[in-house]
Amino acid sequence: MNKFNRVCIVGKYKSPEVARPVAQVIEFLQGEGVSCLVDDLTAQQLSGFKVDSGTMDEVVSRSDLVVVLGGDGTLLGLARTAATHSVPLLGINLGRLGFLADISLDKMVDSLRAVQQGEYVIDDRVMLDVRIDDEPGTGVWALNDISVGKGQSGSLIQMKVTIDGEFAYDLRSDGLVVSTPTGSTAYALSAGGPIIAPSVDCILLVPVCPHSLSNRPIVIPGSSIVEIEIMEAVDARVHIDSHTHVNIREGGRLMIKVATSKVRLVHSNGHEYFGTLREKLHWAGTIGS
C-alpha cells in the first residue's frame, strides 16, 4: 500500500472539542513528513499552525487522503466532494455511532501511523444519483440515502413508484427512503428496513409509516432506475444524505440510480464490518463469552 503524502484534515464545523484532535493529527502527520492542508472552516478553529488552507473543493482536490474528525454526518457531508476527486476518506469518530467514521479518538494516532506504514484496506461504497425535474440542474449524489418526506403540514404524501419503467406501486405514507447498502443502517433501518452488507449490489426502498401495512421494504438490483412521481402532497421535501434539502411539488418527479463514482473509505487492517455492527448495535458476542 502507498503512503499518503498530501493529507487534508477536516474537523466538524463549530465543534468546541475538535480543535485539539485536529492539532494532534497535524502534529503527527507533519512529524512524518506529510504535507497537511485544511479547509477554511477548519482553519478558523486552529491557532499557531502554519497549514495550507483553501475552499473544501480546492484542498480535497490537491490531496491524496482526507482525514475527517467528526461523526458520520461530517463524513457524509464530504462524500460527494471526495468521490468527485477520487480521494479516499478516513473517519475519526467524535460523534455517537460511527458506522463510517469508525476510528476511535484514543486509537487515532496509532491508526494513522499504521495507515502511513501501508497497513490499511480500501472499502469502495456506491452512491446514488438523484435528479429532480422541478429543480433544473440537480444531479446530486448521496452515500446513505435519498428520502421524500412530508413537511410541516403533517399530511400524507401519495407517490407513484416506477422501477425500470415498470409500475411498482402507489404509496400513501409519511415518506419513502431510497437507500444504498451503506445507508441501510441509517434512516432506512429505523423505518424498518433490513441491514444490507456494503458489498451487495442493490438499492433499498423503505416506506415510512405507510397507510397500507402491506407496503413493505424491497431490495432491487443496483442497475435499476427508480422513478418517483409526487401525486398528492402539501409540502413534500426531498432530503439527500440529510445535507441537501429540496422542496418538491405535486407532479414533481425524481429519478434515482447508482452514481458513476464511488466513495473510497480507508480502514485500519483488521476492520470487520460485522464487528462494527456488533459494537454499534450492541449485538451479543460469542456465546459463552
So which residues are the catalytic ones?
72
Parallel, antiparallel or unpaired: strands 237-240 and 145-149: antiparallel
Nearest to 210 by CA among 171, 260, 250, 169: 171
Residues 173 and 156: their CA atoms lie apart, in Å, by 5
Residue 168 amino acid letter: A
**Rounded-to-integer distance, Cα 72 and Cα 100, Å:** 6
- Region for 21 from its dihedrals, namely left if φ exceeds 0, alpha if ψ lies in -120 to 50, beta otherwise: alpha
Indicate the SS3 state at residue 9: strand
Nine-digit cell string for 260? 458513476
Q: Which residues contact 195 (CB under 8 A, 6 or more apart)?
A: 184, 185, 189, 277
- Distance between start and end Cα atoms, the chain: 35
Q: Is 61 exposed, middle or buried, given 0-12, 13-18 or 19+ CB atoms closer than 10 A?
A: middle
